[in-house]
Amino acid sequence: MPVLAAAHIRLDDQGVAWIDNTNTKAIEVALDMIAHGWSPEEIHFQHRHLSLAQIHSALGYYYDHKAELDEQIGLSISEIEHLRTQAGISPLRQHLRDMGKLG
C-alpha cells in the first residue's frame, strides 16, 4: 500500500518516491536539476504536467534523502556504463567511423 512521504510525494510498495497523481518519480525531477542545472521554473517549463509545488516537493524529498538517492544514481550510471561496454560499438557508430564522421 502506498505511503504518503511528504506533501505531493508518495512511496510505492518498493519504497520508490512518486509525485502524486503523475507517473513521475521524485528522482527524475532531481536528475533534471543535477544533469541540466535546471531551476524549478525551468523544470516546470519542460514538464508542464508538474506544478511548481510538486517540483519543490520532489526536490525537497531529494535533499532529505540525498545520500541514498545519490548512491542510487551512481549505481544506475555504473550499470549503464557496464551495459554500454558490453554492447560495444553500434553498427551505426561503426559506419559513421568508417566514413570518417567520428573520431
Q: Give me the tens of pLDDT residue by residue for the chain, a chain 103 residues long.
A: 556 567 899 999 999 999 999 999 999 999 999 999 999 999 999 999 999 999 999 999 999 999 999 999 999 999 999 998 898 888 998 899 999 887 6
Whether the full predicted model's pTM is greater than 0.75, yes or no, is yes
Q: Indicate if 12 and 56 belong to the same structural domain.
A: yes
Domain around 82 = 71-103
Number of domains present in the structure of the chain = 2
Q: Indicate if 81 and 39 belong to the same structural domain.
A: no
Which residues lie below 8 Å from residue 24, measured CB to CB, with a gap of 6+?
A: 18, 47, 49, 50, 58
- Residues 32/46, Cβ–Cβ less than 8 Å: yes
Cα–Cα nearest to 31, from 4, 64, 6, 55: 55
